[in-house]
Amino acid sequence: MVPANASVGEATALTIPAECAGLRLDQVLARLLPQHSRGRLQAWIKEGLATLDGVTVDEPKRKVRGGEALRLAAAPLPEQQAFAPEAIPLAVVYEDAHLLVVDKPAGLVVHPAAGNWSGTLLNALLHHHPGAAALPRAGIVHRLDKETSGLMVVAKTLEAQTDLVRQLQARTVKREYAALAKGAIGAGGTVNAPIGRHPTQRIKMAVVPGGKPGITHYRVLERLPGATLVECSLETGRTHQIRVHLAHIGHPLVGDPVYGTGQGRANLPAAARDFPRQALHARRLGLIHPATGQPMAWESPLPDDFTALLEALRHAAP
C-alpha cells in the first residue's frame, strides 16, 4: 500500500492493491494519491512518468490486474515551478543596485497563485535579477491587479525591501493612478471607507464594517461622454482599493468585470462598453531611495489601449 505521506515531486513507488484489479491506471492513482487531481495524474501518465513492473505506461486508461509494482517518476508540481526564472520582457524604468522600477503591462500577473503558477512578474524578476531568489517574494513589496497597468517598485536587496515596506506602512510612498470611471463625477473628493472581503461573494472585496482602513483621494481630470477621467492617489493599499471605492460612490471603473457589471453601461459609448479590462493605470510613483535617502519619482504614459479609449470617447457624441 502507499504510505499516507506519499507525494509527487520526488519519485513515488508503491504496489497496486489487489482490490484495484480491473481499474484504469488513472483511477488507481487517484485513489492512492488523493492529494493530486485526476487531471494532473493523467497528464503525468501521458508524459511517460509512470511504470508498471518497470515498463513505461503512457495511457491513463490502461487496466491494472493488481499486485504490480508502480513507480511514478519525479514530476515538478506547479507550486514548485512558481519560482522558476522565465525570460519574460520587462519594461525597466529605473534600476540600480538597490531597487528596480518597472512599467507593468496589463495582463501580467504579479505573483504566482492558483491558476497562474508561471508567466508572472515574479518569474520575470528571477530571470532579470537572479539574486532576487534570496529575497521574500523576489523583492516584490506591493502589487497591481493583473489587468491594471503601470509603475511598480521592486527591491533588489533585503535592506531595501525592509525599508520600502516600512515606507508603505508609513504611507510615504506616493502612488497616483489614472482611472476612467463611469458617469459624471461633479468634483473631486476623498473616499474614507474600510475595505474587507465581501460577505457573500468571496472573490470580491467590499466596503464593510470592521474592514481595514482605506483612503482614496480623487480629482477630476476630464469629463467625457458617459465617463469621467480622474486621478486617484492612495493613502492606503488595500486589495482592489480604487476599484472598490469608486464603485462604492456609484462610479465603477470602465471595463471592470468584477465591480462595474451593469452599472452605467447603458450610458456609455460603444468604445467604453467594449473595453476589455478595468481602465486603471498607475502613472506616478514617488518614494525615498532606501540607500541614499533622496526623494525619487517616476511617471508612466498611458498605455496605447487606454489612450485609444480616451480618444474614442472625445470624438463620441454626448
Q: Which residues are catalytic?
A: 145
* Mode of pairing for the β-strands spanning 149-155 and 280-288: parallel
How many other β-carbons are positioned within 10 Å of the β-carbon of residue 52? 16
Residues found in the chain: 318
Q: Name the residue type at position 136.
A: P
Q: Is residue 45 within 8 Å of 12, Cβ to Cβ?
A: no
- Give Dmax (Cα) for the chain: 76
* Direct distance between the N- and C-terminal alpha carbons of the chain, in angstroms, rounded to an integer: 72
C-alpha cell at 75: 514530476
Which helix H or strand E contains 38, and what residues bound it? helix 38-46
**How is 61-106 classified by DSSP, letter by letter?**
T-B--SS-EEEE-----HHHHTT--------EEEE-SSEEEEEEPT
Burial class (CB in 10 A: 0-12, 13-18, 19+), 39: exposed
